[in-house]
Structure formats: structure tokens, C-alpha cells
Amino acid sequence: MRLPLSAALRRLDRHWLLNHPVLWMMRLHWMCYFWFLGLVLVCLVALVLPVTLQSVLSLNSYFVTVFFLAGLAISPWIYLQICFAPQLRLVHQGRTAFFLLAGYLFVLGAYVAWPYAFVSILEGRISRRISEVELRADFHPAVRVALFFEDRNMAGARTPSLELPDEEPLGQEASERLLALSLKYLPANLGDLSSGGQWTVAITIESVINDILRIKGVRAFTGSFDFRDYYTKAWVISVVPIGAALLLWVFLSTDARSLTTTCIIGAAAWVVLAIYDASGFPWRREMVVGIPFLMFLGSGWIVLQAPRQRRKSGVFGVGLNTFTLLLPWTPWLLVTLADRSGLFEDIHRGNATFCVGLSIGVVMLLAFTPWLQRNYRELRANPV
């Protein structure tokens, strides 16, 4: 099958093949080309997809779907990188390793931007369907109705997060308002007003309005917003490409066996820490954050033994892999570990810390790349 590449791209392909083999192997030119085509397609679909206010309920599904499609689109490229990896293992130098990792981060980051672009366009279109004034007008009744049904059904299980004027119980009026808001903000099949579902409906309406307010960038009610979904997306589009790029790069530098062993050890550590975290034992945060940091330090010590290696060592390989895979997360781990006041447990500060920490971590990783690659080369070259 011939790829629909333009003549200019084919010329570039040839030039890179002969002169810049690493760029050619990464197929950066193809990937940019197909990324652009895919982005145009995604944007077109997002522009023609019918949206209503209720579409906010489907935004997560849209995000996941397009994310999955982006993953499918990029999987042949990942496969190609894995196939070509053995050719590079003994040849490439530190500078090449840097470009490889930067290229992987770039390509993977670009492709996970598809769902973000798709959802952003949808959000923009949803936000234009209702004015801020109208939204603000609906917000108070929605919250009050939700609280009313919450009090009645849940016996005050939920603490209101927003100070509201003390008014008379809504009674019959609540049901009428709920019906009116349902018609406006919920799809028809969610408008179940029977007594068991009224609280759920009210909460859903509140959530929809909150989301629309967020989309519109209204800050007045920020205090009551649940940003978890929003940051989940941000987490996905940052962590997934970084993690995938790292795994790919480590595979390229080492071998499947060593990487698999590292991943098994990592997964086992993850499970143990998750169980510990859920168990309610003391020092949970210190354990959950501290153990990976200790693993990082331990693997760093193993890596420093590199000059003494004369044979290919499984322990050294796993240590080097662990060190490389944990490196970008260490600034964040360190800050979280040092946070005795619990300052960063707040979701907003926590997310900001995570983003800044991760950015510093990626820069550190790129800076360390030539050194890591030198160690990997020695590891690969040494006889078993």
C-alpha cells in the first residue's frame, strides 16, 4: 500500500533516510502530516456534531472515544518504532538518544491532543448555546432544588459547599422547578421525577450547569465546582504520552526482557502501595510517595556502578530502566513528600504542583538522556 504522501514529503523522506536516519526512523514527517490530517478531521467532526446543553454529559465519552481513536491511529507508528529499535541499540550516540526521546514526546503528545481539541470545540459550541445571564439565573434554583431533595432524601448527608440565602423549604415549588430545569438541561430520558430519582436528577442538573459555567469560564462559582474530570483529562494528556514515550525509549535502549522485568516489578510495587493506601495504616502518604522515591534513589545507585560492569547484568538493566522511568516524576514526588503542611493536598494547588513538577521532570529527563544512553550502550554492548 502506498501512503498518500506528497512529492515534497517523499523527497524529505529520502533526504532523512540518507542523512538523518533517526528522524527517518521516527517518521516525524509522516506523523506531522497524518497528525494534521487527523486534526482537521477531528475538528470538522466536532464542528458538525449536533450539540445541546445536555451534550456536556457526553463530553467525557467523546474524550475517551477520540482518545482511543488517537491511540489506534498511532499504534502502527509505535509498532514501527519497536521493530526498528534493535538497529539503533548499539549505534546511536547521546545526541541521537536525546532527539529520539524528544521526538517520541512530541509525536505522542501531538496525537493525544486530538481528543483535547475535539472536546474543546464541542465545549465552545455548547457554551454559545446559553447566555451567562441565563445560566446564572438557573444556577441558584438548581443548587437549592438539589439541596432540598438532598435534605429530604439523604437526611443531610451532604454538606452544602456554597452559602445560599436561607429560604423557606421549596416543597411543591421544588418539583416544579426541577421539572422546568430538567426540560432545559437534561436529555428526555433522564427526566425521571419519581421520588427515588428526584435527588439524582437535581444533582445531575447542578453538575450540568457547573460544567457549562466552567466551559464558559465563569469564575464566580469556582468554589463549588468539581474539577476532577477536567484534571483527569489534563492528567491523561500529559502522563500518557510521557509514560508511553519513556517506555518506548527504554525499550529501544534496552530489550524486551529487561523492560518486562522492570514493568512487573513496578506493577507489583504499585499494587502493594495501593493496598497499603487503602488499608488505612499510618504514614500512608509518606509510604505511597516515599517508596517510589526510594526506588529511584536505589536504582540511581545501581546506575552509578556502571563503569564497573564488564558483563551484561540483569540487575543493572532493571536498575537503569527503573531510574529512567522514575526520573521525570521525581520533582513532583519530592515536593509532595516534603509537604508536611498538607498544602498541596488541595486539588488546585496539587494539580499545579503536579504540572510544574512534571515539566521540570521532563526537562531533567531530556538533560540526562545522553548520560543514560551512554550507560544503556555499555549495557547493550557487554557480552552476557
Q: Does 384 bind other proteins (CB under 8 A)?
A: yes
What does the alpha-carbon distance between residue 257 and residue 157 come to, in Å, rounded to a whole number? 52
Q: Which listed residue (12, 24, 28, 177) binds other proteins by CB under 8 A? A: 24
- Could you write out the three-class secondary structure of 115-129? HHHHHHHHHHHHHCC
Burial grade of 127 (CB within 10 A; 0-12, 13-18, 19 or more): buried
Q: Does 100 bind other proteins (CB under 8 A)?
A: no
Q: Does 19 bind other proteins (CB under 8 A)?
A: yes
What does the alpha-carbon distance between residue 204 and residue 74 come to, in Å, rounded to a whole number? 35
Residue 166's φ and ψ, nearest 5 degrees, are -75, 110
| CB of 381 vs other proteins, minimal distance in Å | 4
Q: Which three cell numbers stand for residue 378?
A: 555499555
> How many helices and strands, by DSSP H and E, does the chain display?
14, 0
Q: Does 1 bind other proteins (CB under 8 A)?
A: no
Of 16 and 67, the one with the shorter C-beta distance to other proteins is: 16
Of 91 and 297, the one with the shorter C-beta distance to other proteins is: 91
Residues 25-54 that bind other proteins (CB under 8 A): 25
Helix (H, G, I), strand (E, B) or coil at 159: coil
Q: Does 367 bind other proteins (CB under 8 A)?
A: no
Please give the size of the binding site for other proteins, defined by CB under 8 A: 25
Q: Does 20 bind other proteins (CB under 8 A)?
A: yes
Q: Does 183 bind other proteins (CB under 8 A)?
A: no
Q: Which listed residue (37, 40, 44, 83) binds other proteins by CB under 8 A? A: 83
Q: Which three cell numbers stand for residue 186?
A: 437534561
Q: Which listed residue (18, 155, 188, 278) binds other proteins by CB under 8 A? A: 18
| CB of 92 vs other proteins, minimal distance in Å | 7
Of 96 and 353, the one with the shorter C-beta distance to other proteins is: 96
Burial grade of 117 (CB within 10 A; 0-12, 13-18, 19 or more): middle
Burial grade of 229 (CB within 10 A; 0-12, 13-18, 19 or more): middle
Q: Which listed residue (65, 75, 87, 260) binds other proteins by CB under 8 A? A: 87
| CB of 43 vs other proteins, minimal distance in Å | 32
* C-alpha to C-alpha distances, 78 to 26, 84, 264, 317, nearest whole angstrom: 9, 10, 21, 22
Q: Does 307 bind other proteins (CB under 8 A)?
A: no
DSSP 93: -
Residue span binding other proteins (CB under 8 A) among the ranges 61-69, 201-209, 220-228, 304-312: 304-312
Q: Which residues of this chain interact with other proteins, rule CB under 8 A? A: 17-21, 24-25, 80, 83-84, 86-88, 90-92, 310-312, 377-378, 381-384
